[in-house]
Chains A and B, each alone.
Chain A
Amino acid sequence: MVFDRMEQLGHEQVVFCHDKYSGLKAIIAIHDTTLGPALGGCRMWPYASEEEAIIDALRLARGMTYKNAAMGLNYGGGKSVIIGNPRTDKSEALFRAFGQFVESLGGRYITAEDVGTTAEDMAFIAMETAHVVGLPGRSGDPSPATAYGVFCGIKACLAEVYGDESLQGRRVAIQGLGHVGYHLARLLREAGAELIVTDIDPERAERAAREFDARVVPPDTVYDAECDIFAPCALGAILNDETISRLRCRIVAGSANNQLAEPRHAAELERRGIVYAPDYVINGGGVIHVAEETAPGGYNRERAFAKVATIYDKVRAVLRIAREEGITTAEAADRLAERRLEAIGRLRRFHLPSR
């Protein structure tokens, strides 16, 4: 039931979009617009059922509310999913029809690329609506910004755990060397860290070994690597009952989404004295970067990266809340986001004649 879920998670709006001519079936979920228009990517995926697509859209939209709030952005949380196979079902008409639906919401939802969609798809969407970011030739690939944000977040964790944020001689195990993992490896190596890397694609791992003098381990043993920092930059749910007991690190800080298999795993990490940098806080560089496209004067790389660097302060704030209030870092991240939503929501009570 759609309303049951909306009620449970506090969503504002869920839009089922259908275009019989292009075959578009999409769901736009808007979770919370206290801070501003809902900003979140458009995912294309061959969901096995409508139910699955609804659940995914609602869950991801809510995640964007928290992420955007924690990143200090004036954007609410939204997400859209197109039901279809990204390899076979794409067309100009499909994305333009989707763009019309985005436009019809009048700017309450701003879309962007996500799993299964590309900057080129966004260009089609942009033919029908202004409410799209991440277009070719604007902010471009967000991975370097995401990696830089993770790098800053790792330093915040080091400062918390060791009282010294230097990476010189620190050992970091990186799981996954895709766009973000690769950029992160470079930043860490340049800062003097020793790298242990793994990837399901051996070529990627060998490239990192070559370029960054990294030690390669098989994908299934990365959890056992003795290190200061474990940086998951690939799959979700890798922090679970099976893996946590194997970890031999002091810090978990990486770019992967939904790293915890279940919320209780945050407590499990804490019990073992492992500091966990909440995923949606440390990996928020990408959204900060792409949101810069909407800044007055348009995208500016220097300003964007300066904003991404504030992830250091955000991670430190989260770790401090956790310490002071005796809660897990995951709970602390939620509180940071919720407090901002409450505080800014209260500002809306103040009447200002429209400018």
Chain B
Amino acid sequence: MEPQRAGTVKGSSGGMRVSIFRQMEEGGHEALIFCYDRPAGLKAIIALHDTTLGPGLGGCRMWPYASEDEAVRDSLRLSQGMTAKSALAGVNYGGAKVVIWGDPRSDKSEALFRALGRFIESLGGRVITGTDAGTYPEDFVLARSETRYVVGLPVEYGGSGDTSETTSFGVFAGIQACLEEVYGTDDLRDRRVVVQGCGKVGSRLARLLVEAGAAVTVADVDLQRARELASSCGARVVAAEDVYDEPCDVFAPCALGGVLNDDTIPRLRCRIVAGAANNQLAEPRHAEELRRRDILWAPDYVINAGGLIQVADELEGFDRDRVLRKTAAIRPLLAEIFRVARQRSITTLEAADILVRRRLTGAAHLRSFYRPPARTAR
């Protein structure tokens, strides 16, 4: 569900153990479920943040966490993010996340994913999961033999397949919203856009931008990959370490998280930051730092929601046109976030939060309306 690889998980290993309930109280989480299967070697944590809007939807990450505390923190943090993401993507799902504590290179097995599938199934649809860092659609083909509640399966198993096309389409629409806000026009002709990361989403985005007439510069830690993309679509290349200094209109981070930090923000020479990467801000305060410098930031979880919209659609019988229509709505949504931020003189991150709360409160109120059970035909 999140197209990125997991960055290094922050937080102290060892040290004082943090109370699980304390963390759940702070984040407002509903449930944290420890799942263990000895023969399969499964240790998984299912975090459910908020199910006001519907079943918890969130990817399943597999990662060799240094400690249980780290795995707990990661699952709680990521599930909370999923609540906000689903709320703004307009889908009727709550926030969840699954983490498998293990090394994706050495600890995978049929038994492991089937055991996980059984736990997911036992929750009766309150949690729906799919691929994330460290897991692949093939893993969920295994899990699927034990549970209906998986998405993001390969096409031949009834899934919608690769989500990078939808994600990049959503980011493109989001960039247009940013241009409109800053320049009063969404015209991309001769706009300078720097794309950081030439993976599946970054490369598709670069092509869309070039087609729309933008002057695109690409960068990747794998220089060869950047060169190949540039020559195939007519973009320039900049060294990965110089990407923050490149003068441009739009900086589009499509690789790692944490790229907007104390070191990089002063170097930025753009008016807009809008890209597909997850967790772009090193810390929430960096949203304020960008605002102070008059750089418009498109909140990552809003602009990169295309993948989520696609997999959520699988649960209603996948329809590509419908998915693209829903993904196009990222543009007016971002426009609304920018409007709220402008009017209240707050960051776009804070404005997005306000819209999240607005949707959750509205939906919670709907639930208090008593609806008689559906009548069946006689």
Q: Which residues of A contact B (CB under 8 A)?
A: 1-4, 6-7, 10-20, 25, 50, 83, 101, 104-106, 108
Contact = CB atoms under 8 A, between A and B. Distances in A.
Given A3-B43, A7-B38, A105-B123, A15 B33 contact: yes
Nearest to B19: A50
A7 B101 CA distance: 13
A14 B72 CA distance: 13
Interface in B1-57: 17, 19-22, 24-25, 28-38, 43
Main secondary structure of the interface of B (DSSP, over half): mixed
B36 A20 contact: no
Contact of A11 (B22, B32, B36, B126): B36
Given A2-B20, A13-B34, 8 more contacts: A1-B17, A7-B36, A13-B35, A15-B31, A15-B33, A18-B30, A18-B31, A106-B123
Interface residues of B, number: 26
B353 interface: no
A354 B138 CA distance: 27
Contact of A16 (B33, B36, B43, B126): B33
B19 A3 contact: no
B38 A10 contact: yes
Give the interface centre of A3, A19, A50 by most chain B CB atoms within 10 Å: A3
A218 to B, nearest CB: 43
Contacts, number: 67
A27 B334 CA distance: 40
B48 to A, nearest CB: 9
Contacts of A14: 33-34
Contact of B68 (A2, A11, A20): A2
Nearest to B48: A104
A240 B372 CA distance: 59
A353 B110 CA distance: 22
Contacts of B25: 18, 20
The 6 A-B pairs at the shortest CB distance, nearest first, are namely: A16-B32, A106-B124, A14-B34, A18-B24, A6-B36, A15-B33
B68 A1 contact: yes
Given A1-B68, A2-B34, A2-B68, A16 B20 contact: yes
B122 interface: yes
Interface string B90-110: 000000000001000000000
Contacts of B124: 104, 106
B338 interface: no
B119 interface: yes
A16 B35 contact: no
Contacts of A7: 36, 38, 43
Interface string B286-326: 00000000000000000000000000000000000000000
A18 B36 contact: no
Given A25-B21, A50-B20, A13 B33 contact: yes
